Amino acid sequence: MLKRLATWSGSALLVGLALAAHAGVPTDQVKGATDQVLKTLQDPALKSPDKTAERRKQLRAIVDQVFDWQETGKRALARHWQTLKPEQRQEFSALFADLVERSYVGKIEAYSGEKVAYVGDTIEGDQATVKTKLITKSGTEIPLDYRMQKEGDRWRVYDVLIEASASSATTEPSSTRSSSSRATTSS
């Protein structure tokens, strides 16, 4: 069961990491990106073992466009971030992105047709949380919260909470006041 949860969590993280790089309501961005990621995973031209490096390169490019690694690093290190020089912050952020990729890419590639339900989002100023559920083929629902921050004209992910547990990269509490709720699914 734990192995399956890890695989599903990896698939879910992919959905969170591969958000579209355009402006709009945070949930719309998550849904658009989910579709883009699923298309990449299901592309027959990228499925063969000899295409693994190319597929992973494409996934990483998507992730790097939308994931705010600097913000993730800042939140993960908390007060220790302030003691780092700018070049150390850059180095840490890059290494952290590599760690996330190595930790989850295999699980992400194990995606096998799970559905994603978009439960709703909460927005307060430049902070947003998009609530989704990964629904397995057996009907198990795995809640996922994508924590985002508005940067210019788009929203960028800085954390993914899996089952609202301590699986997130950061531990800063989130407070949100305004919310909208939509239940839609994507496969």
Domains within the chain, CATH numbers bracketed? 2-186 (3.10.450.710)
Please give the model's pTM, rounded to 2 decimal places. Answer: 0.73
Binning pLDDT at 50, 70 and 90, where does residue 84 land?
Answer: very high
Q: What's the chain's average pLDDT?
A: 78
State which amino acid sits at residue 58. Answer: Q
pLDDT score recorded for residue 141: 93
Residue 3: strand, helix, or coil: helix
In terms of Cα–Cα distance, which of 113, 118, 114 is closest to 184? 118
pLDDT in tens, 127-171: 999 999 999 899 999 999 999 999 988 899 999 999 844 344 444
Q: Considering only the C-alpha atoms of the chain, give the largest distance between any 2 of them, rounded to a whole number of Å.
A: 48
